[in-house]
């Protein structure tokens, strides 16, 4: 719940326990902005703050579904400079993400990993109840492939953020978010499923 700012203190706590963690980040945006309206901590900056504090194992950060308009001709430059793997939405269109997740599992290895899922990573046709919707996003089936593709990783925590029910009278966004959280709980280490 909440906006993406909540991931920052969670990762501070996890890094204090585990050291820098890997990150599987699903989002329309990289959330590596520097400031907004003079503020350094806001929903578009948590991962820049995490990099600055050494909370992330940057060679084990994957951002999936990134898209949308930008004020910069190379909006993902900062992420690439940190060593993040950025997977733009257009690389995901009309295909299964199981092959991608095999690569992600190999990249993450057996060290601690955090999953952070912004609901706007999904196309607003499926999840309109969010504050910063971007067209041409992922499908719910691809979201399941990503989450289920994390099974077997050393997951130390997860979140699902940016659901804003007041923007979706149908309730579909909240339903989708709840189901994705359930799926995340099912891939935590030691969880037995049928």
**Backbone phi and psi for residue 97, each to the nearest 5 degrees, phi listed first:** -100, 10
The Cα–Cα gap between 114 and 6 comes to 13
* DSSP letter (8 states) at residue 89: G
What's the pLDDT band for 154 if we cut at 50, 70, 90?
very high
**Inter-CA distances, 184 with 48, 102, 144, Å:** 24, 17, 9
- Does residue 168 sit in helix, strand or coil? coil
Helix axes 140-148, 98-108, angle to 10 degrees: 30
Is residue 177 scored above 90 in pLDDT? yes
Domain 4-187 grouped into CATH 3.40.800.10? yes
What's residue 71's pLDDT? 79
What's residue 132's pLDDT? 95
Q: What Rg value do the Cα atoms of the chain yield, rounded?
A: 15
Q: Can you give the residue ranges of every domain in the chain?
A: 4-187
Is residue 1 scored above 70 in pLDDT? no
E-state strands within the chain = 21-26, 56-66, 85-88, 112-118, 154-161
The per-residue pLDDT for range 70-84, each reduced to its tens digit, is 878 899 999 999 999
**Inter-CA distances, 126 with 30, 57, 134, 142, Å:** 20, 32, 12, 12
Percent of the chain with pLDDT over 70: 99
Is residue 194 scored above 80 in pLDDT? no
**Backbone phi and psi for residue 59, each to the nearest 5 degrees, phi listed first:** -75, -5
The Cα–Cα gap between 65 and 143 comes to 10
Lowest-pLDDT range of 8-12, 14-18, 32-36, 116-120: 32-36
The per-residue pLDDT for range 31-66, each reduced to its tens digit, is 999 999 999 999 999 999 999 999 999 999 999 999
pTM greater than 0.95 (yes/no): yes
**Backbone phi and psi for residue 88, each to the nearest 5 degrees, phi listed first:** -65, 155
Percent of the chain with pLDDT over 90: 94
Average pLDDT, the chain: 96
Picking from 152, 110, 157, the residue whose alpha carbon sits closest to that of residue 11 is 157
CB 137 within 8 A of CB 122: yes
Higher-pLDDT residue of 146 and 194 is 146
* DSSP letter (8 states) at residue 44: T
Mean pLDDT of 179-186: 98
CB 57 within 8 A of CB 174: no
Q: In what order do the strands lie in the sheet with 85-88?
A: 85-88, 56-66, 21-26, 112-118, 154-161
């Amino acid at each position: 719940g909440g906006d993406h700012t909540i991931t920052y203190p969670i990762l501070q706590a996890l890094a204090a326990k585990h050291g820098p963690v890997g990150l599987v980040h699903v989002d329309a945006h990289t959330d590596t902005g520097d400031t907004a309206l003079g503020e350094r901590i806001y929903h578009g900056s948590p991962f820049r703050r995490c990099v600055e504090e050494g909370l992330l194992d940057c060679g084990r950060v994957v951002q999936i579904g990134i898209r949308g308009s930008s004020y910069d001709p190379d909006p993902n430059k900062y992420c690439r400079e940190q060593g993040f793997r950025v997977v733009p939405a257009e690389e995901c269109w009309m295909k299964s993400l199981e092959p991608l997740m095999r690569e992600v599992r190999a990249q993450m290895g057996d060290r601690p990993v955090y999953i952070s899922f912004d609901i706007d990573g999904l196309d607003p046709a499926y999840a309109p109840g969010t504050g910063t919707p971007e067209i041409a996003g992922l499908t719910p089936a691809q979201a399941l492939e990503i989450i289920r593709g994390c099974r077997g990783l050393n997951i130390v925590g997860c979140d699902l953020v940016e659901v804003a029910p007041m923007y979706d009278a149908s309730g579909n966004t909240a339903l989708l978010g709840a189901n994705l959280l359930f799926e995340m709980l099912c891939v935590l280490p030691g969880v037995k499923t049928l």
